[in-house]
A and B are shown apart, each in its own frame.
Chain A
Amino acid sequence: MTASHQYCTFYLGDQCFGLDVLKVQEIVRYQPLTMVPLAHPMVRGLINLRGQIVTAIDLRVRLALPPRLESDEPVNVVLQTDDGAVSLMVDEIGDVMEVAEEHFERPPETLRGAAWDLIQGAYKLTDRLLVILDPELVVSLPAEQN
């Protein structure tokens, strides 16, 4: 029997992404945002999560993907980090998926481009790839990684 991991999955466009389920605190539907002027573009604003002020990061901006349509309401994936809860705004939420380690593969050398360093690897599912993101790096400003 091989080891398996559980991932919270979500979509940005057609691509399926996964984050370690233990790092995900909760999923919250779209919340009214308070804009933060002068902030990095990936910070969409602040939300009030039951009395806690949480920074909301647009994962599309973080991964340098094209912006989502105005009409689409993003969903908040709230992560637990050392610095408190941080929300990632994604297009659509998927299931919690249990995948076997044997299907995991590290990113190929050819993986380059924006934010490639956030990608830990991918699970080869039957019909698609589940791309696993680094939960710590994904919430940090791009400049902080250096």
Chain B
Amino acid sequence: MTVHDVKHAASDSARLEAVGGRLSRVDGPAKITGAARYAVEQQLEGLAHAVLVDSTIAAGKVVSIETQAAKAARGVIAVLTPDTIMKLSVASDWFGNPLAPQRTFCPLARDVTYCGQHIAVVIAETFEQAVSAAALVMADYDQAPALVELGDGTAGEIISIEGMTKEWGNAQAALAEAPVHLSAVYNTQRSAHAAIEPHGLIARWEGDRLTIWEPSQWLDGMARTYAEWFGIPFENVRLVSPYIGGGFGSKALALAHSAVAAAAAKMLGRPVKLMLTRSQNFTSYGGRATTRQTIDLGADKAGRIQSIIHRGVSEVSLEGMWVEAVGSITSIMYDTPNFSSRQDVVRLNTVLPNPKRAPGENPSAFGIECAIDELAHELGLDPLEIRLINYAEQDPHAKKAWSTRQLREAFAVGAEAFGWAKRSPAPRSMRAGHQLIGWGVAAGAYPVQRAHGEAVVKIMFDGSVEVESSSIDMGQGTYTILAQTAAETLGVPVSQVSVKLGDSHFARAGVTGGSRLAGIMTGAVHKAASQALDELIGLALSDPRLPFHGLQANTLAVKDGRIGSPRGDGPELSIAELMSMLGRDRIEAKGDTLPAGTTAEERYKNYTTIAMSIPHTEGDYSRHSWCAHFVEVKVDEDFGTVRVSRVVSALDSGRLYNPKLAESQWKGGIIMGIGEALLEEGIVDRRHGRTVNSNFADYMLPTNADIPDIQTISVGIPDPHSSALGGKGVGELGIVGVAPAIANAVFHATGKRVRDLPITLEKLI
């Protein structure tokens, strides 16, 4: 795949192209002309189309499936059921732990644990034929009562997640002694990733080699899963995902439908395309889990927190495990001498929840950032002031210095830009006509997640540069910042660099999640490019036919694609001329950031599991990105409708590799936060355990009309402890703290404290 070039005025280009420059997306021209071909848009000869049939009950057994009518329908090639689809091996988990090697995995369910579970698949010559035949498949069930809702009488098994317990001091005693108390329960809803590109794939077998075109946040991890399912070598699986139409955490794993398509393709000996319907995108994989958290705060009369006791619970499916860790940032936002946080999960008849943008941190912020606002109100303190009174100068839990924490600056800069000083403190004291106006603030944090990465950089005979990685770009700007990094490191214009991503046959990459990719990949590309440059210069110096022969090693540099003395006072050649004189068609370097002596097994594990992630508190520092959101809402006093009318956010993501793209990601996170605060909720019919709003007309994503101007301000400084080039996380950070900022603003507008998301109109009228 070729990445299109963007032309800029020459005078601007150097500034824009440098790392840290506001270069427009290099993959932009392909995306705005329709030329960008997403994974499932691959055109193959002989493609068959698969459509899934899903369970209509949430719990029980499939007794029988009637397939005759579907099989007889025009164009139908096959109808597969749990009895007839091929059985696979059980793949290992995120960490690479084998789960049940002795068992087999049937990607179509006989035992139903959630509504919408795939029980059959119809494969036909055309999409339309598969859709209509799938409607003819009828199942008989032996239905069992479903466990449907967190915390009510029907809740299932409760499991304590001991590893998430955090304790210091004596929280109970300190709470009892504190003169000021606050106790509240905060609930966050089930919400969907709702990427506009649906999940789906094309699977094609050639012998025992499998090619999968599938949107993916983790090509190597998903390739491992396919290899394990089908018992073939990892190298035999090729995953292709050149562009991803939004992921937000949902596209990191190969899922049951992926297995169905790959199995069907193998059984039929034909490439098979399977796209989940929009409704299935709500029911086939989980979004953010429902959470409930109780916060007890004890403080002195000056507002200094003495104790925090936090108890959180999130929902999980009957099979598998995912914890929405609602205590994840409760422990680091404020300085407290006494603290206790525990986490449970409750098993329900729901699909396995997944990480969604800032999993854990986002609902965690809703608890602690509302609670501190409530405490401020109780004490008559300004919400900003109470945050500064309790400012944590070091990580209160890890007891380590922050690598960088520009949160105080975020408060100051954000407040100034927002005009916070003009806030009238009393609730219901600001209005315009029928609109009650409220101003709220909340902070957020996201840990710096790190791992090792690798990249290949090739200097080609014509002076062009190719960067290859199996990492991906789902809109964060990977293509662009890696082009900037390679160009800057090698001294060539960005227009000479083409970045190739999204093919598992390229240099390996770990998961794109947890805002880790930019930091890892800029480091790996910088290293690979440096190695390639060293080799180029070394060859230039050592070849007796060249004018540079015999010069000192540090006397040559590449600038604007030409090699010569940095002072411009000696011989000079273009890279193409140099390559020609050297007689080389390419110089290729693979750079990685793994420690010396890393074994092949460790390398494989590093890229195909998350087992080798580096803790954010490793060594002497605690590493996080930070933000402060200032929000204005307008609440209609009659209708209870809340509209966000202004947002100013100050964010510390360390050094930004491309501020233009980072700002877009921040805004995207803020907007997703507005959705979760006010609109989005997966609503379940408790009688059936079925999501009833599994579509975009009933599950409310924010529209353009719901979103005001958003001002984002970078307050970050380069953080050498967080990444090679000084950046921290960007993509996840923006959402954290948005919902509490809005809830706090709604309280300020109306005097009503809403502790259950989303804040819909009936909660305010």
Q: Does A pair with B?
A: no
Binding site for B on A (CB under 8 A): none
Residues of B within 8 A of A (CB): none
